[in-house]
Structure 1
Amino acid sequence: MPLTDDLLQADDGTALARLWLHDDDGERVAGGVRPEPGVPVARVAEQARRDLAGLRLETPDDDLAAALVAGGVPLERSATELRHDLADLPAPAPLPDGWAFAAAGWDDDLAAATAAAYAPGHPDGGWTENDTATVRGMFESADPVPPLAPASARLVGPDGRSAGHVLCAGPVPWTAYPCAWILNIAVGPGGQGRGLGQALLLHALHGTRSAGLPALALSVADGNPARRLYDRAGFTEVTRVLTLRMPAA
């Protein structure tokens, strides 16, 4: 197979694209696929369909994604990676009366609030049982990564029940720079419109800094209204991330 750990090659050995082959939660991923200068994206797409069959492909290149889609490869997600370098952080936001932060964790109330926040039709897709299993795995066995406790928190409402959370990990292995990563941030319907999302985000930023990490990053899907929250908080764009599911050979 004309494929190395960081290079997609034509059958004659011509370098077609740079990439990063790695595993993500048991899934094989070809990340950061970038055509080499001067190489037609159609040629890269043709080789990728052969040599990356069955993999999840992530690319910042809109033209390569378009060429793959034109060839029948489904586009799974269009998103932007954002990063905050923790400079000039605003003060933590006060919570409304009766609301409080608690140690990060998972319970049935939080599962219901998160599922409601990520309802079907959400730009990031609806919350699934697999998402719940992944979060439980983080807390129960640190798999695939452990939570970053200082930057994570559970939001508790006046009734004493979990109503949202922010869940971070770090340092994470999937970026080219050291950082914490927001895996999930959600406020259930009963807490929305109270500034609680901003409070959770600021908690994550200050917690990342207290943990000694130099940045906090995340990926936000196109069309997600939370993008405005991240922009106001001072996050900046790192790269586009277009995710495609390569058909099996």
Structure 2
Amino acid sequence: MPVRQGNTDSLLLGDDDTPLARMRVTDEDGTPVASDVRPLPGVAPARLVAQVRRDLAGFRLETPDEALAAALVSDGLTVARAATDMRHHLADLPEPVALPDGWALGAPGWDDDLAEGLAAAYGPDHPDGRWEPSDTDEVRAMFDTGEPVPPLVPASARLLDPDGRSAGHVLCAGPVPWTDDGCVWILNLGVAPRAQRRGFGRALLVHALRGAHEAGLPSVGLSVVDGNPARRMYDAAGFRVRARVLTVRVPEARRVRE
């Protein structure tokens, strides 16, 4: 077996059954994911490339190992996303942010105003890319069916304007199964353009931190893509770098004509 699955981690094996790398294998909406891929001690990243191409064909591969990512790029693959995995350990919580008159943080949920605001906030030039209809479908599913994970209500909220319309949100889940430290994960934090540059992003972030602490969970995690200006807000709020994560999409294996 090229991949030996355990209760938490899995091993990528060589042709001679030698363990080459440790990773976590999951499935996200039909896409197989190999996350936290780390070569085992003494295994050269270059040795992994052929094994990855064959045994993880069609996977989204996420690794904090820059040498492995560089070896895959040298073999013709492309880094699809470069981001920083951050954590806040909730030991020193920021004070709640006072909102202007008429503005409020309300119960988490989803509506057309929020969908429209996030579509405008995540345009084609955003470092994380455009907000897609599939993103809306995923958020709706969290609230409607709890899949793939239900929202963590104490740490999630909508930003409401003086007319009661949604102008942004923070959406959290936790503890999430794709981390090894049982943390709360900020899945999305966004503010509609009409409400930006007024401190609402920090208000939502602080709400998430304090709500996670209220829920009794140990830390809050997030992933921020390179070039996202929100990184400054996370640093100022007390988040610390845990790892840099590079994402590579491994192409499907080519079919050989008979």
Normalised by the length of structure 1, the TM-score is 0.97
Find the aligned partners of 1:217 and 1:23 in 2 and give their Cα distance. Answer: 20
Among 221, 242, 245, the alignment partner of 1:241 is 245
Instruction: Tell me by how many angstroms 1:238 deviates.
Output: 1.3
1:93-113 deviations in whole A, cap 9, x for unaligned? Answer: 111122111111111110011
Letter of the structure 1 residue corresponding to residue 76 of structure 2: G
- Residue of 107, 129, 150 corresponding to 1:103: 107
User: Is residue 79 of structure 2 the alignment partner of residue 75 of structure 1?
Assistant: yes
Q: 1:191 is matched by which residue type in structure 2?
A: A
* Aligned-partner SS, 2:211: helix
How far, CA to CA, are the matches of 1:188 and 1:196 in structure 2? 10
- Alignment of structure 1 residues 55-204 onto 2, 5 Å: 55-204=59-208
CA distance in 2, matches of 1:182, 1:2: 33
Per-residue CA deviations over 1:139-172 (Å, capped at 9, x if unaligned) read: 1111111111110000011232111000001111
Paired with 1:14 and 1:132, the residues of 2 have a C-alpha distance of 43
Gaps of 5+ in 1: none
Letter of the aligned partner of 1:114 in structure 2? L
Name whichever of 64-73 and 212-221 sits farther off.
Answer: 64-73
Deviation of 1:237 (Å): 1.2
Structure-1 separation of matches of 2:203 and 2:230: 13
Name the SS for the 2:187 alignment partner.
Answer: strand
Displacement after TM superposition at 1:14 (Å): 2.3
Distance, in Å, in 1 between the alignment partners of 2:219 and 2:44 is 35
The aligned counterpart of 2:256 is none
Query: Residue 134 of structure 1: CA displacement?
Result: 0.1
Q: Between the two proteins, what is the percent identity of the paired residues?
A: 63
For these two proteins, the number of residue pairs brought into alignment is 249
4+ aligned runs moved over 4 Å, structure 1 = none
Partner of 2:42: 38
Letter in 2 for 1:237: V
Normalising by structure 2, report the TM-score. Answer: 0.93
Instruction: Look up the SS of the partner of 2:90 in the other structure.
Output: coil
Give SS of 1:166's match.
strand
**Unaligned stretches of 5+ residues in structure 2:** 254-258
Give the distance between the partners of 1:92 and 1:209, measured in 2 at CA.
Answer: 13
Say if 2:3 is the partner of 1:3: yes
Distance 2:119 2:189 in 1: 12
Larger displacement relative to structure 2 (176-185 or 67-76)? 67-76
Alignment partners' CA distance in 1, 2:121 and 2:237: 21
Pick from 18, 36, 55 the counterpart of residue 51 of structure 1.
55
Equivalent-residue separation in structure 1 for 2:78 and 2:137 (angstroms): 25
Q: Deviations over 1:44-81 (max 9, x none)?
A: 11210111001111100111112112222232211111
**1:212 offset after TM fit, Å?**
1.2
